[in-house]
């Protein structure tokens, strides 16, 4: 898990692995993520050259979103390649540094 700098102002990246496979979530500990008319949260993830925009399923009182597998793979690949990512969900904007990612990802026995 990569945590925000502040417990109350950022987005946390969480990857769970179990018998269900691997799942990626983005969490907040503050105000809920905004949702659109379809009940989804619009998530934008950017590296230096590309932006991916998705509609993610909101969970746990809209303080967690489930990232689709293809987008999760893109995020993981970019972080493993050493790229910093910017994540925007409504009022929240956070940079995810690749600095500790490889170590934490390896802890999940994913590489």
- pLDDT digit string (tens) for the chain, length 111 residues: 544 444 445 789 999 988 888 899 999 888 889 989 998 999 999 999 999 999 999 887 788 999 999 999 999 999 999 999 999 999 999 999 898 888 888 887 655
Alpha helices in the chain (DSSP H): 69-80, 101-107
pTM: 0.85
For 12-107, give the CATH class. mainly beta
3-class SS of residue 66 = strand
């Amino acid at each position: 898990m990569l945590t925000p700098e502040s417990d109350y102002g950022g987005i946390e990246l969480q990857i769970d692995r179990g018998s269900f496979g691997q799942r990626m979530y983005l969490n907040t500990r503050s105000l809920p993520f905004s949702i659109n008319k379809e009940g989804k949260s619009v998530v934008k993830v950017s590296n230096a050259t590309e932006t991916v925009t998705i509609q993610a399923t909101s969970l746990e009182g809209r303080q967690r979103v489930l990232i689709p597998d293809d987008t999760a793979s893109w995020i993981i690949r970019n972080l493993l390649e050493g790229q910093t990512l910017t994540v925007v969900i409504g009022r929240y904007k956070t940079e995810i540094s690749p600095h500790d990612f490889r170590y934490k990802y390896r802890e999940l026995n994913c590489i």
